[in-house]
Amino acid sequence: MENTGSGSFLRNRRFESFLDTKSGPNVSETQKLSSKEVTDQSLEKVDAFVDDEHDDGWIPTLISCVRIVTCFLAMMVTAFIWAIIMVLLLPWPYHRIRQGNIYGHVTGRLLMWILGNPIKIEGTEYSKERAIYISNHASPIDIFLIMWLTPTGTVGIAKKEIIWYPLFGQLYVLANHLRIDRSNPSTSIKSMREAIQAVKKHGLSLVIFPEGTRSKNGRLLPFKKGFVHLALQSGLPIVPIVLTGTHLAWRKGSLRVRPAPISVKYLPPIRTNGWTVEKIDDYIKMVHDMYVENLLEKTEHIR
């Protein structure tokens, strides 16, 4: 399942040349660095390369603005259609979850097509499993990809402020996805319990960003404990989704979309039915280290 886009081969060769280890630290120096530090250095190199590769001229900026406006208009149309469906399904909350997933599949794929970034997707054999799907988060594009690529029957968990996001936030609430008040621990725990009850009763999956917020610079933030608590209470496996290149394609707070290549990789499910509360911090570190390792690999071999 792959969308390579025109000119991606030339970009690949230039990225690989730019990230050649001969131009970076020698082996002994690299061994002294932690994997996180190496990942950050690689990301900084890629950031600098993309900035140089796609300079902000007025023509690329104009094309970018047209794409963003087109995305917004497309979201308006699809949100209006599915809002009508959701209203008709108000008495059946868990049918609304599934309809919300269908909306996400259609709209997410459409928006990514409009943006035009070359996308490579790996590990799709793990994308249909009933599980807790987690993903790193550094760009608005991450939302589009998760909408598109999580299976039908998946309920999302997001901060309560999502309701103020134009169009998307209101439809998120109509689709019966869950919101958490992070300023109130007791309310947050209650929302988590509601999620577990819904998952068990209706055979749902979950999707959550374990960092809890969007990274400003693409660097991986510390993971919060919520996804591990969900796994302990539900017994569901965890399927990590590693997104690479999205923060280069559309930076936080920017109106400039760049044609940077994007990689989506599903990792094999992590079985959690033997996990215990006493080792929560160990599980978080294990999963976080998986992301660091895969992000390092992808920044060195961007396709």
Residue 287 has pLDDT above 90, yes or no: yes
Residue 12 has pLDDT above 70, yes or no: no
More confident residue, 28 or 264: 264
Contact 105, 92 (CB under 8 A): no
More confident residue, 163 or 81: 81
More confident residue, 22 or 188: 188
Residue 270 has pLDDT above 80, yes or no: yes
Q: How far apart are CA 128 and CA 106, in angstroms?
A: 17
Q: How far apart are CA 90 and CA 88, in angstroms?
A: 6
Q: How confident is the model at residue 115 (pLDDT cuts 50, 70, 90)?
A: very high
pLDDT in tens, 117-137: 999 999 999 999 999 999 999
pLDDT value for 8: 42
Contact 153, 101 (CB under 8 A): yes
Residue 7 has pLDDT above 60, yes or no: no
Q: How far apart are CA 133 and CA 269, in angstroms?
A: 9
CATH architecture of 2-300: 3-Layer(aba) Sandwich (3.40)
**Quick one: what percent of the chain has pLDDT higher than 70?**
80
Q: How confident is the model at residue 283 (pLDDT cuts 50, 70, 90)?
A: very high
Q: How far apart are CA 10 and CA 261, in angstroms?
A: 12
Residue 293 has pLDDT above 50, yes or no: yes
pLDDT in tens, 74-89: 999 999 999 999 999 9
**Quick one: what percent of the chain has pLDDT higher than 90?**
51
Q: pTM, whole model, 2 decimals?
A: 0.79
pLDDT value for 182: 72
* Average pLDDT of every residue of the chain: 81
Candidates 262, 257, 267; CA nearest to 120 is 262
Q: Is 107 exposed, middle or buried (0-12, 13-18, 19+ CB in 10 A)?
A: buried
Counted residue by residue, the chain has a size of 303
Q: How far apart are CA 8 and CA 43, in angstroms?
A: 19
pLDDT in tens, 24-58: 444 334 444 454 554 555 555 555 444 544 455 77
DSSP state of 209: -
State phi, psi for 270 to the nearest 5 degrees: -100, 110
pLDDT value for 19: 33
pLDDT value for 21: 33
Residue 113 has pLDDT above 70, yes or no: yes
